[in-house]
Amino acid sequence: MRYRTTMTAAILMTLFVAIPLAAGAADEKAQTTTQEAKTMASDSWLTSKTKIALFADERVKTTQISVDTAKGVVHLRGKVDSAEAKSAAGDVAQGIEGVKSVKNDLQVVTPAARQAVDANDKDIAKAVETRLGKDSQLKKVDVRTDSGVVTLTGQVATIDASAKASEMARSVAGVKSVKNELAFAK
């Protein structure tokens, strides 16, 4: 009888301690989810503000700039006419309120060389997409090419699939290098 009373007391004490801990964990998960949603909305807002500012700036005379933002870090990709335009684009992005830092991967391509580069990039991207499309694990990989540099984005199931995508892209004629920005599905 005494053993049963002691066990009952121990079980009740454990429940009284565990319930608030479980509630705290659920509350923490809700706060984390809320923070992630705020970050995503904030990143979208920073991307939009950066695109508008770049479009309005006279020093950056191109529409071939892609802007992505993750956790306050603005990533610029694409082609500009001069080193001055590249620097100006970085300055414009850094000047946006809320931007933590800027990753400026803009490539300087003169207008005379742009047509040849663009045509070649399209052919390379198409060839990489065709090759990746033959593998069921890699059909949803997005491919972007800038001056022979292939960037892979999207989600794959495993690190092996990510490595396979890089190797397949690297083997396409005309590819200078591969930037693998693939995420792993959770």
User: What is the per-residue pLDDT across 108-130, written as a single tens digit (0 to 9) for each?
Assistant: 887 767 666 666 889 999 999 99
Q: Are 174 and 148 within 8 A, CB to CB?
A: yes
Per-residue pLDDT tens for 13-55? 565 555 555 555 556 665 665 555 555 558 888 888 998 899 8
Q: Can you tell me the distance from the alpha carbon of 106 to that of 89, in angstroms, rounded to the nearest whole number? A: 9
pLDDT band at 178 (very low <50, low <70, confident <90, very high): very high
Measured torsion, CA atoms of residues 43, 153, 62, 45, in degrees rounded to the nearest 10: -10
The domains found in the chain, sorted by start residue, are 44-108 (3.30.1340.30), 111-184 (3.30.1340)
